[in-house]
Structure 1
Amino acid sequence: MARPLLGAPPIRFGITGVMLNDRLGFLNDWAAWLGARLGRPVVFVQRARYREILDLLLRTQLDLAWICGYPYVQHQDVLKLIAVPSFQGQPLYRAYVIAAAEDSVQSFEELAGRRFAWSDPDSNSGYLYPRSYLASLGYAPDRFFRRTFFTWGHRRSIIAVAEGLAEGAAVDGYVWETLARRDPALTGQTRIILRSPLFGFPPIVAAPNLPETDQTRLREILIGQAGDATGRALLAELNLDGFVTAEPALFADIAVMARQLGLGR
């Protein structure tokens, strides 16, 4: 464990709806664990919208952030890949399209002309992938549904379907699976009607100006978290196995979809 550096500035760690950030006590515990090993305070900065966290990161008002793979591929020339979570044994996840449990709809295509919830315009699972899927079938995503709206969070999208505000939604499969463990009464009101191919899990990235020594140390701490008893307990709260190293190629499929839809660089 590192010795605290007196007066050392905190590491500012941005988070969004990529993770289930509704547990303040957990975030305090994780910040304390990270800070003790880093030797300087860690402060979590929460924002509802991916764009807010991304803008803070690009303006170097954050040092580190857990973002979606979609904004990462758009800015991977300046953002530094630190680590990727391992979920169910691999650094991958799926997008889910869900409908209400009691609805008879069996496929994404059957949601045509209905109300649909997107999670965030900078989300792969909650926006990019489902639009790419519809386009691959020859549908115009913006004309496919009767009405669409943004919920600004995967959990909120699940609630929107459960409460009948939307008849379908595109969500992060990790978030749905984690909520299924914590709140099965909620996810039980929804049903998965489409699972995407596997994509690179939303990564933890560093701001352009974070020194390489800090990048290296943060990477070591995150990758070593599964080897520490308290670290493993925190990972269990996140429903993750741990963190692993990865290369930008892990997110190549997301970059391809963005370019095909005219949304990539």
Structure 2
Amino acid sequence: MYLTSFLRRRALLLAGLLSLAAGVQAQQVFRVTAIPDESPTELARKAAPLMKHLEKRLGMKVEFVPVTDYAAAVEALVNKKVDLAWFGGFTFVQANNRSGGKVLPLVQREEDEKFRSVFVTTDPAIKTLADLKGKDVSFGSQSSTSGHLMPRSFLLQAGIDPDRDFKRVAYSGAHDATVAAVASGKVQAGALNISVWDKLVADKKVDTDKVRVFFTTPPYYDYNWSVHADMPAAQREKLTKAFTELSRDTAEGKEILELQRATRYVPSKVENYKGIEAAAKSAGLL
């Protein structure tokens, strides 16, 4: 009987230790996601070196978790299904509101302090925003800052209401898809992120003799890497340092920053996105 009791206690202890070990191991996976503003293959390509860098700096496995749409990225961080998320300015505002102020911007690219959108077309008759009246025009995702919200905001400031003045409003879902829609003639014009446009031009993935920029917006704050406020301060500091230490002077830093289309990363704050919040409210999108 004593032997049976001893074995039972030993089995329970072993089960407890295994359960604890499994729990610790599960906690050692740091999950990252990003709004799908480009094709899945492009997002995965851009993410891979950064995930390796974060693994080294955090001392744990880092896993990139793709999502199907912008709303899924918001919900993933709000519900703490992921630890870090790449948001556009508008998706950050949505996540911050949805969480009751519990989602915080950690860092942003220096470029995101003065970000812009571009309007492109193949139609030689389109030279100004006013020329878009009566045309088929594409935005990116409805939740995109640079592919929808801010272009819509600047259109409204110019006295043009897309829902009233355009023949048709289309949503391509991603910046590169917007360019493809314009190039193929599915729409006469489209609005997208200037960074993606510049990359497509540099990679010769768009015929600039056919597709051209006819309007560039004024600057605004945009993308950031966000975390949940429940993340321990020490881990937030470690993460911030992992981003801000990246430099083009090192091979690793150069590769990551070029893939992320960044000069460098700088700390961000909630106040940077008050303008986008106001624009979303005035456009009836928040």
TM score, norm. by length of structure 1: 0.87
Give the corresponding residue for 2:121.
99
Instruction: Please tell me whether the aligned partners of residues 15 and 21 of structure 1 are also in contact (alpha carbons under 8 angstroms).
Output: no
* Aligned-partner SS, 2:106: strand
* Aligned-partner SS, 1:199: coil
Instruction: Please tell me whether the aligned partners of residues 181 and 187 of structure 2 are also in contact (alpha carbons under 8 angstroms).
Output: yes
Give the corresponding residue for 1:171.
192
Matching of residue 38 in structure 1 with residue 62 in structure 2 = no
Instruction: Please tell me whether the aligned partners of residues 151 and 157 of structure 1 are also in contact (alpha carbons under 8 angstroms).
Output: yes
5 Å matches for 1:115-130? 115-130=136-151
Deviations 1:172-217 (A, max 9, x none): 1111112221235345532111111111131110124322222211
Percent of aligned pairs sharing the same letter: 22
Shift of residue 252 of structure 1?
2.7
* Aligned-partner SS, 2:156: helix
Which of 234, 257, 265 in structure 1 is aligned with 2:279? 257
Structure holding more helix per residue: 2
Q: 1:223 to 1:19 in 2, by over 3 A?
A: farther
Q: 1:28 to 1:139 in 2, by over 3 A?
A: closer
Give the corresponding residue for 1:144.
165
Give the corresponding residue for 2:224.
203
My pick for the range that moved more, 167-176 or 223-232, is: 223-232
Measure the CA separation in 1 of the matches of 2:157 and 2:259.
Answer: 37
Instruction: Please tell me whether the aligned partners of residues 21 and 27 of structure 1 are also in contact (alpha carbons under 8 angstroms).
Output: no
Deviations 1:199-257 (A, max 9, x none): 11311101243222222111110111126431222212232112111222322321221
Instruction: Please tell me whether the aligned partners of residues 200 and 206 of structure 2 are also in contact (alpha carbons under 8 angstroms).
Output: no
Which of 259, 263, 281 in structure 2 is aligned with 1:241? 263
Measure the CA separation in 2 of the matches of 1:188 and 1:11.
Answer: 45
Q: 1:34 to 1:230 in 2, by over 3 A?
A: same
Instruction: Please tell me whether the aligned partners of residues 94 and 196 of structure 1 are also in contact (alpha carbons under 8 angstroms).
Output: yes
Give the corresponding residue for 1:15.
34
Deviations 1:91-142 (A, max 9, x none): 3210111112x53310122111111111011112211122222322333321
Matching of residue 49 in structure 1 with residue 72 in structure 2 = no
Instruction: Please tell me whether the aligned partners of residues 154 and 172 of structure 1 are also in contact (alpha carbons under 8 angstroms).
Output: yes
* Aligned-partner SS, 1:231: helix
RMSD (Å) for aligned C-alpha atoms: 2.3
Which of 190, 197, 203 in structure 2 is aligned with 1:182? 203
Shift of residue 19 of structure 1?
6.2
My pick for the range that moved more, 218-227 or 134-143, is: 134-143
Give the corresponding residue for 1:78.
102
Gaps of at least 5 residues in structure 2 are 1-23
Shift of residue 41 of structure 1?
1.2
Instruction: Please tell me whether the aligned partners of residues 60 and 209 of structure 1 are also in contact (alpha carbons under 8 angstroms).
Output: no
Structure (1 or 2) with the larger CA radius of gyration: 2
* Aligned-partner SS, 2:105: strand
Measure the CA separation in 2 of the matches of 1:46 and 1:7.
Answer: 19
Q: 1:245 to 1:38 in 2, by over 3 A?
A: same
